[in-house]
């Protein structure tokens, strides 16, 4: 199986013996324990093909019957990646949002291009600044950034790396994921201390982002003080068989809607308007517009 953009494609089918042989070979190349089929393992390979070096990240785990699953992730340089915008004007809005110090939160399903968006923004708008990323694992290679990778065995979790990062005085932080109370509060602290902090957080929709941060223990008065913008994004299939990102953005006065407890909405009114406009311009189909109506 090959997962590209938002589609899962079957490239070939192997029988169980062939599949196990391929898994064993890849695990061997990645310095993983080939005799261990149940416990989770991670590894890495620098694969060379046609004079090109490709970084691979491997993750394996076995089910209760001993059948093993292996996922291979391709780590690309930022120069090879670019999100196409369904509504190009939205990129200018994002650039305006990150022009101010504070916290900018990104959300959307896995594979929707959140990390690529943050990296592109940092590369285009922060060229003369020090950018530090903290990720688990590093998903994109960018030699102009200081890229730190979480390693719990080496006592390098998000909290510890953020503390170290603050001592290095970067202008911009990119946090791969806010997944717990400690990381959430550290991200807010970094934003309060004058940094631009871009981070992802899991939420079902645009207005769920603030609620998620509050659930993680961030005081609402601190969050209101530092947050500069919210970006919820989806990767949509276009009628030309390509994919493009559509953003739902909250900034400035519109951020007040996210803190309004009486607001029961999921997405902003602009989201549905943009979908309808893209459908009218034949960028997306009616089915796609309906499918992504609620985010």
Domains and CATH numbers, the chain: 2-76 (3.30.450.90), 81-291 (3.40.50.300)
- pLDDT: which is higher, 118 or 295: 118
Give, in degrees to the nearest 5, the angle at Cα 73 between 249 and 180. Answer: 50
Q: Are 230 and 136 in contact (CB under 8 A)?
A: no
pLDDT exceeds cutoff 80 at 8? no
pLDDT confidence band for 1 (50 / 70 / 90): low
**Tens digit of pLDDT for each residue in 185-235?**
999 999 999 999 999 999 999 999 999 999 999 999 999 999 999 999 999
Q: Are 275 and 248 in contact (CB under 8 A)?
A: no
Q: Which two tokens stand for residue 293?
A: 């109506």
**Tens digit of pLDDT for each residue in 142-175?**
999 999 999 887 889 888 999 999 999 999 999 9
């Amino acid at each position: 199986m090959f997962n590209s953009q938002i589609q899962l494609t079957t490239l070939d089918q192997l029988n169980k013996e062939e599949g196990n042989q391929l898994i064993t070979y890849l695990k061997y190349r990645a310095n993983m324990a080939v005799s261990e089929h149940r416990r989770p393992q991670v590894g890495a390979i620098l694969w060379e093909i046609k004079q090109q070096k490709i970084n691979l990240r491997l993750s394996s785990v076995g089910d209760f019957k001993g059948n093993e699953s292996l996922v291979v992730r391709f780590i690309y340089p930022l120069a090879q990646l670019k999100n196409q915008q369904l509504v190009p004007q939205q990129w200018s809005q994002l650039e305006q949002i990150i022009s101010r110090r504070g916290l900018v939160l990104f959300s959307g399903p896995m594979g929707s291009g959140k990390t690529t968006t943050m990296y592109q923004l940092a590369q285009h708008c922060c060229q003369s600044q020090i950018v530090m990323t903290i990720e688990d694992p590093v998903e994109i290679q960018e030699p102009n950034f200081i890229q730190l990778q979480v390693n719990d065995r080496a006592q390098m979790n998000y909290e510890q790396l953020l503390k170290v990062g603050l001592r290095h005085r970067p202008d911009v932080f990119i946090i791969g994921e806010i997944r717990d109370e400690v990381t959430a509060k550290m991200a807010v602290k970094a934003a309060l201390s004058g940094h631009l902090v871009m981070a992802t957080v899991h939420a079902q929709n645009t207005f769920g982002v603030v609620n998620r941060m509050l659930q993680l223990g961030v005081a609402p008065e601190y969050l209101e003080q530092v947050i500069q913008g919210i970006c919820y994004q989806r990767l949509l299939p276009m009628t030309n068989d390509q994919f493009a990102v559509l953003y739902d953005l909250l900034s400035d006065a519109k951020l007040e809607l996210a803190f309004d407890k009486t607001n029961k909405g999921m997405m902003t009114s602009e989201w549905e308007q943009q979908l309808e406009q893209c459908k009218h311009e034949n960028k997306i189909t009616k089915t796609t517009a309906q499918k992504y109506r609620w985010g």
